[in-house]
Structure 1
Amino acid sequence: MASPVERTLNIDQLTHIVSRFAEVQGDHCSVLPQLSFHSRMSPTDSTHCIYNLGVGMILQGQKQVVIGDQVYHCHAGQSMLTTIDLPVTSHIVHASTQKPFLAVLLLLDLQMVNQVVADMPVVDSPTADLPQHSFSVESVDTPLIDAFLRLVKVLDEPMMLTHLAPLIQKEIIVRVLNGPHGAYLRQLVKSGSTNQKIHQVVNWLKHNYVQPIRMDDLAEKAFMSPSTFRQHFRAVTGMSPLQYQKQLRLQEARHLMFNQNVDAGRAAGLVGYESASQFSREYSRLFGESPQRDVQRMRQSL
């Protein structure tokens, strides 16, 4: 068993290497598409985005993540697991130029997760069939830190990257499954589990959010009654199906206006709104300002 001193040394070493890849504030992709580094030099306003299937580790600083009605405080030395694509609101709480917020994120391959679980012994627990929330925050253990450290180090070995990176990624999945996040990740891939059924509905919503949705139709896709489906969807995602769809629509509209210069009225129609006034009201409620003022503010902050 690793000592607290070894854990601290590994975190310090990983922090040093990540700082080299993220010298400038921002989100930095690596040559390994699934691996990215995130740096902020000061506290930030709330940002809205989609968290995908992946495991992240905070090395310095602190952030707050809001999913539906749940608020998570994420500190240095903690890991975060997301098992289903989630609309979230987050902001950096602690960061400075002397000690920036630093985090590393590894997106997980669902097929690889399925393969690893299939090769591992079945784990029975009293909560095995209960729906699990799709976001969890836990203290990171030394073996997981060590695996991330080796994955980041191999970026400096281009000739070895294609051979070693998949092996280390697989090891990270094994360690997540056998650590405090394990129950959450197992539920995602367990055949017939509540989380797997909700995951399938979420995937459908992601590709069809423009369409009007009927609760009975979504419940049928999950092989549940409408009341059971609503209850389980909220337990897994932290929000109702309609709230989930609304966040997908509004975030896509914001992307269209900011990145493609689409005006608010057209963006509303493209994401499925029939009423421009309803779109403006719901946009202002989520982002805190009207569509025009919000996009203007984002452009001025560049």
Structure 2
Amino acid sequence: MDRQAEFAALIEQYTSGDGMLETALPRVALAKLSKPSEPMHGVHQPALCIIAQGRKQVILGDSIYFYDASQYLVASVDVPVVGQVVEATPEKPYLSFKLNLDPHLISELILETGLTDEIEREGAGGTLSTSLSLATVTPELLDAVMRMLRLLDKPRDIAVLGPLAEREILYRLLNGPDAARLRQIAQVDSKLQRVTRAIAWIKQHFTEPFSIELLASEARMSASALHHHFKQVTAMSPLQYQKQLRLQEARRLILIQGSDAASAGHQVGYESPSQFSREYSRLFGAPPLRDANRLKATPGALVPA
């Protein structure tokens, strides 16, 4: 069995039905789908995503990130995206591995490996780029991921050997094409960290109206700098980001909690039911009730982006 086939077999071993599985490994989740999915809106957390089998596309703003087992995806901040599995069959299901990135672990590794010198050469902010990127999966990175997954067979080893496998994975990333992006995740008071503060504030207060000046004060940036850097990273303005969070939460309330459209819209901050229905339809392609019925009738449609 070659390395790629073994990777797919490892994931399939621990995923029985379609969906996302949180594992006993901290920050690690596995996904399986036996057919292509509906486009699914969600907030992508800072994470490493590697596909073992199948293909997927992730849409951020006007950019489409299309990848398969040959590439991995890294997300550097929480960002609203549209994810869709585009290649999967019952015989060869879509299989993927996700590791949520821990900034503290990345910081520790940077200090231990002497990469702080590179941060100093980049300056206080470095160059910002869009929060998603693709890079080639190397044999070394894939080997580290597979060693981590094999620990699921030996639960007693996870506490000791799991952190070692995670550190190796992060080390491989820090020595790859996404090194600068990962350093910005961990760098205190970098431009990316300031944008991350703004994102965290919006996520906490997304049902409330706000001004760009208030948000800039929270991020410790000027209003013009925040607007510019926020759009560089997320491909949207702060107000567009807030709207995405509102509509995604309203969709969750309707689907999971059974709220009616008017109540869901009011709960997430909309005063006008007609405006809520209009913006919901524009984002999700159908009014709330029709959208909810369609998703409930589509197995696997609710797998997170």
Asked if 2 retains the 8 angstrom alpha-carbon contact of 1:132 and 1:187, the reply is: no
Separation (CA, whole Å) in 2 of partners of 1:54 and 1:40:
20
Mean Cα displacement is larger for which, 233-242 or 15-24?
15-24
Asked if 1 retains the 8 angstrom alpha-carbon contact of 2:74 and 2:133, the reply is: yes
Which residue, 68, 89, 97 being the options, matches 2:61?
Answer: 68
Separation (CA, whole Å) in 2 of partners of 1:160 and 1:228:
47
Separation (CA, whole Å) in 1 of partners of 2:4 and 2:179:
22
Please state whether the residue corresponding to 1:64 is helix, strand or coil.
strand
Mean Cα displacement is larger for which, 286-295 or 91-100?
91-100
List alignment gaps of at least 5 residues for structure 1: 1-7
Aligned-pair CA distance for 1:33 = 4.1
Aligned-pair CA distance for 1:136 = 1.1
| 1:10 is aligned to 2:3 | yes
| 1:40 is aligned to 2:27 | no
Separation (CA, whole Å) in 2 of partners of 1:90 and 1:201:
24
In the other structure, the counterpart of 1:226 is 223
In the other structure, the counterpart of 2:302 is none
Once the two structures are superposed, residues 186-211 of structure 1 have per-residue CA deviations (whole angstroms, 9 ceiling, x without a partner) of 11222221111101111111111111
Which residue, 268, 276, 299 being the options, matches 1:279?
Answer: 276
Report the RMSD for the aligned CA atoms in angstroms: 1.7
Which residue, 103, 127, 130 being the options, matches 1:130?
Answer: 127
Equivalent residues in 2 for 1:244-283 (5 A)? Answer: 244-283=241-280
In the other structure, the counterpart of 1:92 is 85
List alignment gaps of at least 5 residues for structure 2: 300-305
In the other structure, the counterpart of 1:153 is 150
TM-score between both structures, scaled by the size of structure 1: 0.93
Runs of 4+ aligned structure 1 residues displaced above 3 Å come to 124-128
Aligned-pair CA distance for 1:276 = 1.0
Aligned-pair CA distance for 1:22 = 2.0
Separation (CA, whole Å) in 1 of partners of 2:2 and 2:181:
28
Which residue, 71, 76, 88 being the options, matches 1:78?
Answer: 71
| 1:235 is aligned to 2:228 | no
In the other structure, the counterpart of 1:5 is none
Once the two structures are superposed, residues 62-112 of structure 1 have per-residue CA deviations (whole angstroms, 9 ceiling, x without a partner) of 111101121111122211111111111011111112221111111122222
Separation (CA, whole Å) in 2 of partners of 1:233 and 1:254:
25
Separation (CA, whole Å) in 1 of partners of 2:253 and 2:104:
31
Separation (CA, whole Å) in 2 of partners of 1:194 and 1:120:
23
Once the two structures are superposed, residues 113-166 of structure 1 have per-residue CA deviations (whole angstroms, 9 ceiling, x without a partner) of 222223232215669711122111111111110110000001101111111111
Aligned length: 295
Separation (CA, whole Å) in 1 of partners of 2:197 and 2:146:
33
Please state whether the residue corresponding to 2:50 is helix, strand or coil.
strand
Report which structure shows greater RCO (CA 8 Å, sep ≥6): 2
Asked if 2 retains the 8 angstrom alpha-carbon contact of 1:62 and 1:73, the reply is: yes
In the other structure, the counterpart of 1:206 is 203
